[in-house]
Amino acid sequence: MTSTRRLIFGALAVALPLFAAAPAVADGEVNIYTYRQPYLIQPLLEAFTAKTGIKTNVVFASKGLGERIAAEGRNSPADVLMTVDIGRLDGARELGIAQPVASDVVNENIPPQFRDPDNNWIGLTGRARVIYASKDRVDQDSITYEELADPKWKGRICTRSGQHAYTIGLVASMIAHHGEEKTEEWLAKVRENLARKPAGNDRAQVKAIYAGECDIALGNTYYMGQMQTNDKDPEQKDWAESVRILFPNSEGRGSHVNLSGVVLAKHAPHPENALTLIEFLTTKEAQKVYAETNYEYPVTPGVDVSERVKSWGELKPDDLPLTEIAKYRKAASEIVDKVGFDDGPSS
């Protein structure tokens, strides 16, 4: 029996009442709320328990965890929130559910651009927002985000909803670089180049390329790894084989890179254990496990990317701090609606 005790539930409405009703936990435990699928963090947590002896209790949900912690207030059992995307990380700060992480270990391991200025959230791994391009129908080896507005791509682009956090992050980065007016013009032109209404997740866009419905699609890098290694649904390996990754703006400012990260809960019942966990997650040992398991990029300097990730090409990340990009999330959402992005092309 593994030393890591997991309380994993498929629905938040069921999971958290059961978690709250559990007996008081011992000092040797830490309670984790996470948006990340349990299997993605299990190897990491098992390594943490093996090294520290601290047991981990995990509650997983796909949405609403930050709001739940806020509603629970001082009675929340959450010690840490593990999440993805700058929107959710900065959202935890905005909800008032985070407390600063005061740690020389974290400050030494994680560069400032991957941390909130007040350490209310800590970045752990990076995922680039890239272009999946058909090997058969796209000849070019480079691209820019700006180029997605070029009429040559009319009817050839697939993407997920404009209101999804991943898209909002990219649009916010465009605002940070070009301003709201130019970004609105750009996004309206991208909408006209869509092959269909935005729908599905990032893997669904690659499936659409494989099926010939479009030629390029926006997606996060780690989905390539998930598809290439999917033995349960081997058809996804065929999807992945039909495309290659283009890293946008590699010859300029670099590709937009978002984060997975962690937050120390404001009313953490086990703050010392929580801090121990956060510090562990920033070590080279943990960064290697986390990044390799999730096909992501380590943010701790000196940790190499996995061979699989390296095979996709060289990433030049946009060095604009995510805290700067996060300022424009609201404006990005408003622009998405204003141009009717999710309605798809007008003709």
CA distance 8 to 15: 7
Beta strands 80-84 and 29-34, pairing class:
parallel
- Among 173, 219, 179, 221, which residue's Cα sits nearest to residue 322? 173
Domain residue extents for the chain: 12-125+258-310, 128-256+314-343
Q: How far apart are CA 179 and CA 128, in angstroms?
A: 21
Question: Could you report the average pLDDT of every consecutive run of 10 residues in the chain (347 residues)?
Answer: 38 37 56 89 92 95 92 97 90 94 96 92 95 97 97 98 95 98 98 97 98 98 96 97 98 95 97 97 93 92 94 94 91 98 92
What residue type is assigned to position 111 of the chain?
A: P
What pLDDT, in 10s, does the model give residues 323-342? 899 999 999 999 999 999 99
DSSP annotation of 240? H
Which residue type does 66 have? G
Residue 295 annotated as lining a ligand binding site: no
- Specify the amino acid at residue 157: I
Let me know if 285 is exposed, middle or buried by CB neighbors in 10 A (0-12, 13-18, 19+): middle
Can you give the pLDDT at residue 290?
A: 86
Q: Tokens 């300097």 — which residue?
A: 301
Residue pair 89/81 in contact (Cβ under 8 Å)? The answer is no
DSSP string across 156-201 = -EE---TTSHHHHHHHHHHHHHH-HHHHHHHHHHHHHHBSS---S-
Q: Please check whether the two domains, 12-125+258-310 and 128-256+314-343, share a CATH topology.
A: yes
173 in Cβ contact with 325 (< 8 Å):
yes
CA-CA distances (angstroms) from residue 306 to 170, 224, 254, 287? 25, 13, 20, 11
SS3 content of the chain, % helix, strand, coil (to 5): 45, 15, 40
Residues near 277 by Cβ (< 8 Å), separated by ≥ 6? 30, 32, 48, 54, 56, 79, 80
Question: Which residues sit opposite 194 in a β-bridge?
Answer: 157
Determine whether domain 128-256+314-343 maps to CATH 3.40.190.10: yes
Instruction: Quote the CA–CA distance of 248 and 143 in Å, as a whole number.
Output: 5
Residue 83's H or E segment, with its range, is strand 80-84
pLDDT of residue 40: 81
Q: Which CATH architecture has domain 12-125+258-310?
A: 3-Layer(aba) Sandwich (3.40)
3-state class (DSSP) for residue 7: coil
**pLDDT given for residue 117 in this prediction:** 92
Alpha-helical segments (H) within the chain: 12-21, 38-52, 65-72, 86-95, 104-109, 165-178, 180-193, 202-210, 222-228, 235-241, 271-281, 284-294, 307-310, 322-326, 329-338
223 is in an annotated binding site: yes
User: pLDDT digits over 145-179, tens only?
Assistant: 999 999 999 999 999 999 999 999 999 999 999 99
Q: Which residues, other chains included, contact 155 with Cβ-Cβ below 8 Å and sequence gap of 6+?
A: 193, 194, 195, 214, 345
